């Protein structure tokens, strides 16, 4: 019988030990893994509802198309991007495929960046509709073309990540080297990761400042619109009191209906702006922990070496904080948008009827 080489036995034994260490690490990270899975599940269901309602049920406007596109981008993040991150978490010491790491990080980057750019497009659309209503506006057709162009740019613009990411060596509790999907060993000691993540940080801050400025101007305009409406309503009320005897019933009715129409328009404008503002605020906040920790990890590659279990879970949850934004958006629509709630209720009633149909008795008889 041919003797098995010692080197082969050593490699096999080391692989087995690493797999055991990886399994133990996965158990330690179970709180983070479960939290991420919960976000993926809730976000996927919620965002497919957002896409369906805004694309199929509500009015075919540019704003609704942008919101539907954001829902679709968030759906892909929750159904593809987050499961990818879950797989990476479950292989934090035994990730051996450089190609798989590059592809996974690239896909996640595309879905997240697409959603982020659509948030910016929504803000621009809101600015033109509220602050510049008599100038050029997005139509549904131009919105479709814009989202298509944006997606093509994102697919190209996130490609540098393919070169940056890869298998990265990590120390273990025994005298063995594990591998995780992070910065490739080829680039970890170069300036490229720093340039890459600093560039992302600069783009983020530029986007955050732009979004804040846009919604500040929109907020001022909405407030001014509200003041104008209240002033007109006050004048209209005084005019009705002074001239009620001289007005016909028909004209009086028109004077009463006009302020109501303006009021409804004002409320709709405010609610829509509030929904989109909340989405933007959560988008800005959710990226902070990730940007801070990832940039720090580039300068301190061994940041996780001395962390306990609570610290590791906190770190891994924080570097994936941007997923909160993707999962929570449907709840914002549901809380602030009455039309969205109404459509969700209709869908729920339709599903309930399917599962609670009264069986029709089948009878056979001669006619």
List pLDDT tens digits, range 36-94. Answer: 999 999 999 999 999 999 999 888 999 999 999 999 999 999 999 999 999 999 998 88
- 9-39 residue pLDDT tens: 455 677 788 888 999 999 999 999 999 999 9
Could you tell me the sign of the dihedral formed by the alpha carbons of 203, 205, 209, 212, in that order? Answer: positive
Position 149 confidence tier, pLDDT thresholds 50, 70, 90: very high
Position 154 confidence tier, pLDDT thresholds 50, 70, 90: very high
Q: pTM here? A: 0.81
Mean pLDDT confidence for 246-267 = 51
Does 258 score more than 80 pLDDT?
Answer: no
Sketch out the chain's domains with CATH numbers: 6-243+253-343 (1.20.1070.10)
Mean pLDDT confidence for 293-303 = 76
Distance CA 304, CA 309 (A): 10
Contacts of 96-99 spanning 24+ positions with Cβ under 8 A: 96/167, 96/179, 97/167, 98/166, 98/167, 98/184
Distance CA 31, CA 29 (A): 6
Q: Exposure pattern of 157-176 as b/e (b: 16+ CB <10 Å)?
A: ebebbbebbbbbebeeeeee
């Amino acid at each position: 019988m041919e003797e098995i080489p010692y080197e082969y036995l050593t490699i096999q034994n080391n692989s087995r030990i690493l797999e055991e260490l990886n399994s133990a690490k996965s158990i330690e990270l179970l709180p983070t893994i479960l939290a991420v899975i919960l976000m993926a599940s809730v976000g996927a269901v919620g965002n497919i509802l957002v896409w369906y309602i805004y694309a199929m049920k509500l009015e075919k406007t540019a704003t609704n198309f942008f919101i539907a596109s954001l829902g679709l981008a968030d759906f892909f993040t929750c159904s593809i991007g987050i499961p990818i991150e879950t797989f990476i978490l479950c292989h934090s010491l035994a990730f051996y495929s450089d190609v798989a790491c590059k592809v996974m990080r690239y896909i996640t980057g595309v879905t997240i960046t697409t959603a982020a750019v659509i948030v910016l497009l929504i803000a621009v659309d809101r600015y033109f509709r509220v602050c510049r209503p008599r100038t050029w506006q997005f139509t549904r057709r131009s919105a479709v073309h814009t989202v298509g162009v944006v997606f093509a740019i994102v697919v190209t613009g996130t490609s540098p990540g393919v070169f940056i990411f890869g298998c990265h060596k990590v120390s273990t509790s025994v005298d063995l080297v594990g591998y995780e999907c992070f910065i490739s060993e080829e680039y970890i000691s170069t300036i490229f990761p720093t340039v890459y993540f600093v560039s992302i940080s600069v783009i983020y801050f530029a986007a955050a400042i732009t979004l804040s400025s846009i919604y500040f101007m929109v907020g001022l305009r909405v407030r001014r619109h509200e003041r104008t409406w209240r002033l007109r309503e006050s004048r209209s009320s005084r005019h009705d009191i002074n001239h009620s005897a001289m007005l016909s019933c028909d004209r009086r009715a028109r004077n009463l209906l006009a302020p109501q129409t303006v009021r409804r328009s004002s409320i709709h404008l405010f609610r829509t702006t509030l929904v989109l503002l909340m989405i933007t605020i959560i988008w800005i906040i959710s990226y902070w922990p990730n940007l801070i920790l990832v940039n720090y990890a580039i300068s301190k590659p061994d940041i996780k070496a001395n962390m306990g279990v609570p610290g590791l879970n906190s770190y891994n949850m924080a570097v994936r904080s941007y997923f909160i934004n993707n999962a929570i958006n449907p709840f914002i629509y549901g809380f602030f948008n009455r039309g969205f709630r109404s459509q969700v209720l209709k869908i729920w009633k339709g599903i309930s009827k399917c599962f609670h149909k009264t069986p029709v008795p089948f009878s056979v008889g001669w006619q």
